[in-house]
């Protein structure tokens, strides 16, 4: 994790921020897809999809293999675990704070 570092996580979160890229990840999680197969259900040009795939590649979330003129995209799930860990920590922080908020609201109620 130290080697891959924060810049990698930055790129993972940046990649995850766009709904189209999350949709791409969901689809290739089920099965490998070519870029044109990925473009089909979206109202997007091949070029636009290709651009999203490149962002995902840079974040190491997608591995693209080439055979002839076909590019096949495969999910690389490892970075998702690091991202999930950060988000789980963030959720834990908020849950702890909201517990404290509930506690305060009970105190205020008892004071009335």
Q: Give me the residues that bind another protein (CB under 8 A), please.
A: 1-2, 5-7, 9-10, 12-14, 16-19, 22, 25-26, 29, 80, 82-98, 100-106, 108-109
Give CA–CA dist 25/111, Å, rounded: 51
The distance of closest approach from Cβ of residue 112 to another protein in the complex, given in angstroms and rounded to an integer, is 10
The distance of closest approach from Cβ of residue 73 to another protein in the complex, given in angstroms and rounded to an integer, is 14
| DSSP for residue 61 | S
Judged by beta carbon, residue 30 or residue 69, the one nearer another protein is 30
Residue 61 — φ and ψ, nearest 5°? -95, -20
Judged by beta carbon, residue 4 or residue 64, the one nearer another protein is 4
Number of neighbours of residue 36 by Cβ within 10 angstroms = 12
The distance of closest approach from Cβ of residue 21 to another protein in the complex, given in angstroms and rounded to an integer, is 9
Tokens of 53: 């795939």
3-state secondary structure of 92: helix
């Amino acid at each position: 994790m130290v080697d891959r570092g924060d810049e990698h996580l930055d790129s993972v979160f940046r990649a995850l921020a766009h709904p189209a890229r999350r949709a791409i990840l969901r689809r290739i999680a089920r099965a490998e897809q070519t870029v044109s197969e990925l473009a089909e259900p979206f109202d997007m040009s091949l070029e636009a999809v290709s651009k999203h795939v490149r962002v995902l590649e840079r974040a190491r979330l997608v591995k693209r293999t080439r055979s002839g003129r076909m590019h096949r995209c495969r999910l690389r799930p490892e970075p998702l675990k690091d991202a999930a860990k950060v988000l789980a920590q963030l959720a834990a922080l908020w849950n702890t704070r909201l517990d404290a908020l509930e506690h305060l609201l009970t105190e205020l109620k008892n004071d009335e």
